[in-house]
Amino acid sequence: MALERVLLELAAEGWFASFLNQAVEVGLLRGDLATLVGEPRGFPQIVLRVGRATPGKAPPRRDVDDMLIEE
């Protein structure tokens, strides 16, 4: 529930987040990450990448008439 709240607050402020799972799924990396963030008593559960992105250009779309099949 805490992660959900963080993600919703970020989205409300125009920020984006993505998960970087490998660092917490691989045992050796998980231990190194715990040491890196100064938490030797436990293990990080998730790594979030947070930032703002410039709006991208919408991908081209097919015309609806090209997709409809008349029988």
List the domain boundaries for the chain: 2-53
pLDDT at 41: 76
pLDDT at 16: 93
Cβ–Cβ under 8 Å, residues 33 and 24: yes
pLDDT along the chain (71 residues), means of 10: 92 92 81 81 84 88 86 77
pLDDT at 56: 86
Q: Look up the pTM and report it.
A: 0.57
pLDDT at 49: 92
pLDDT at 70: 80
